[in-house]
Structures are given as structure tokens and as C-alpha cells.
């Protein structure tokens, strides 16, 4: 019997890698993306491309509007996305953190999982690059599993949720190498926090800096399409 898994798919490098790894592990994959009022909505088009290219059984986009209360540079245009500031190793919560985002996303993934009979959830959290994000840390994932086990039909039916975080302790170099071995075409992905309307990356936000450094460290040509001023040339 083929096991089903929900993969949180943003359209970025990490989530695309997670989807490929779930497929490689033999899961029937259901991709879940969110249109949450983010300024980088072109990532949803990227998510569609990735889901199609990697053979997801289904791809759903859930609509909500977290920009109603903002609180993040990704959902509030009055807050600037920081430029030329690497996030790696930071212990300070950055302005690009979206309040409770992964808590909300995983909860909705579990809801869909209950309907599908999919007890496995994949999320591309990373404690190396984004240690400043509280919802990317192992302690949060452990606590979510406990809450989901207690607050869904799992508690009565005597099964347990499994939240897979295959990228948790990897740097971008290792993630890219792993993804390439699993068949990811990173030219389909968008990781930038502040791309232009065509999806071209800014080249200066923390996500762009980490992505670019990862390709360089892996010795792999960077397929990212940057804005003309983004490369600093």
C-alpha cells in the first residue's frame, strides 16, 4: 500500500527539495501551497511548476490573508525587506518572520491529511540558515506533533503524525546537492523575498544571498533569474 504525504510547497529551493525527497522515499505526494498575502506571490507560480515537474498527485493552493495584520516584511509593504544582510546564524528574529506561519501551515496540512488519510507531513524548515525563526526549530516541530496527536482523530484511532524535516540540519550547499541527486530543476523555483512582478530575484535579500552562496559552494551554476541590478555587476 502506497503511503500518502502532504508536502508544504512554497515554490522555493527548500520546499522543492522536500517534495523530491518525499517522492524518492516512495510517498504519494500531495503538495500544499498558501496564498497568504505575501509580497512574493510569484512563488505560487513556481510551486505549480515544481509540483507538475516532480509529479505530485495533487497540488492545492489555500487562500488566506495574513496581510490583514501584517507584522512581517513579507506581508506588510510598509516594512522594508532587509538587503545585503545574511540570516545565517542569527539569534534575533528577523523582520521576514511571519508570525505563527508554520504553525498555521502545518495545522492546515494536518487537516487535509486527515481527509486524505495522509499521516506524514513534509516541511523544509532549516535550523542552520534560519535559526532566528522560532517556527523552524526542532523544539517547535516536536511540540506540533504532540499537539496534532492530541487534537485530531489520531488520539482516538491510535495512530501518530510524522512530520519530516529532512533539511533541518543541512546548509544550502548540502540541500542543493541533495536536490540535484533527487532530480530537482532549481530553475523552476523562486526563493527571493522581494522579486519583481516577472519573478526576477532581487539578489540582495537574505534568501537570495543564501541561495547564491549555496550554488557557489556546491560548484553548481546558479539558474536564478536576477534583476539587472541584483547581481551587483
* Tens digit of each residue's pLDDT (9 = 90 or more) over 57-86: 999 999 999 999 999 999 999 999 999 776
pLDDT at 95: 92
Lowest model confidence (mean pLDDT) among 48-57, 117-126, 194-203:
194-203
* Tens digit of each residue's pLDDT (9 = 90 or more) over 11-52: 999 999 999 999 999 999 999 999 999 987 899 999 999 999
* pLDDT at 114 exceeding the cut of 80: yes
Residue 112, SS3 per DSSP: helix
Locate the DSSP E strands across 48-97.
Answer: 58-63
- For the question of whether the overall pTM of this predicted structure is more than 0.85, the answer is yes
Instruction: List CB contacts of 224: < 8 A, sequence separation 6 or more.
Output: 186, 187, 191, 201, 208, 211, 212, 215
Residue 96 CA to residue 39 CA, distance in Å, equals: 11
Partners of 31 in the beta sheet?
7, 59
Confidence bin at 232 (pLDDT 50/70/90): very low
pLDDT at 40: 79
Long-range contacts of range 101-105, CB-CB < 8 Å, 24 or more positions apart? 101/36, 101/66, 101/135, 102/135, 102/136, 102/140, 103/135, 103/140, 103/144, 104/64, 104/66, 105/8, 105/32, 105/34
* pLDDT at 129 exceeding the cut of 80: no
Confidence bin at 231 (pLDDT 50/70/90): very low
Residue 151 burial class via C-beta count within 10 angstroms: exposed 0-12, middle 13-18, buried 19 and up: exposed
pLDDT at 36: 95
* pLDDT at 183 exceeding the cut of 50: yes
CATH topology of domain 4-218: Rossmann fold (3.40.50)
C-alpha cell, 94: 528577523
Amino acid at each position: 500500500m502506497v503511503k500518502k504525504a502532504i508536502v508544504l510547497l512554497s515554490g522555493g529551493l527548500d520546499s522543492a527539495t522536500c517534495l523530491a525527497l518525499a517522492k524518492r522515499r516512495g510517498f504519494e505526494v500531495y503538495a500544499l501551497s498558501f496564498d497568504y498575502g505575501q509580497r512574493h506571490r510569484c512563488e505560487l507560480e513556481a510551486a505549480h511548476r515544481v509540483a507538475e515537474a516532480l509529479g505530485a498527485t495533487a497540488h492545492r493552493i489555500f487562500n488566506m490573508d495574513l496581510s490583514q495584520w501584517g507584522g512581517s516584511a513579507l506581508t506588510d509593504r510598509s516594512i522594508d525587506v532587509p538587503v545585503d544582510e545574511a540570516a545565517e546564524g542569527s539569534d534575533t528574529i528577523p523582520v521576514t518572520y511571519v508570525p505563527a506561519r508554520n504553525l498555521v501551515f502545518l495545522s492546515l496540512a494536518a487537516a487535509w491529511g486527515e481527509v486524505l488519510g495522509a499521516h506524514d507531513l513534509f516541511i523544509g524548515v532549516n535550523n542552520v540558515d534560519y535559526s532566528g525563526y522560532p517556527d523552524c526549530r526542532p523544539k517547535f516541530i516536536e511540540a506540533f506533533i504532540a499537539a496534532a496527536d492530541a487534537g485530531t482523530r489520531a488520539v482516538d484511532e491510535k495512530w501518530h503524525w510524522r512530520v519530516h524535516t529532512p533539511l533541518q540540519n543541512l546548509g544550502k550547499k548540502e540541500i542543493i546537492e541533495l536536490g540535484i541527486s533527487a532530480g530537482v530543476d532549481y530553475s523552476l523555483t523562486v526563493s527571493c523575498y522581494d522579486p519583481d512582478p516577472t519573478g526576477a530575484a532581487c539578489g540582495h535579500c537574505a534568501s537570495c544571498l543564501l541561495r547564491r552562496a549555496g550554488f557557489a559552494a556546491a560548484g553548481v551554476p546558479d539558474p536564478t533569474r536576477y534583476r539587472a541590478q541584483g547581481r551587483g555587476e
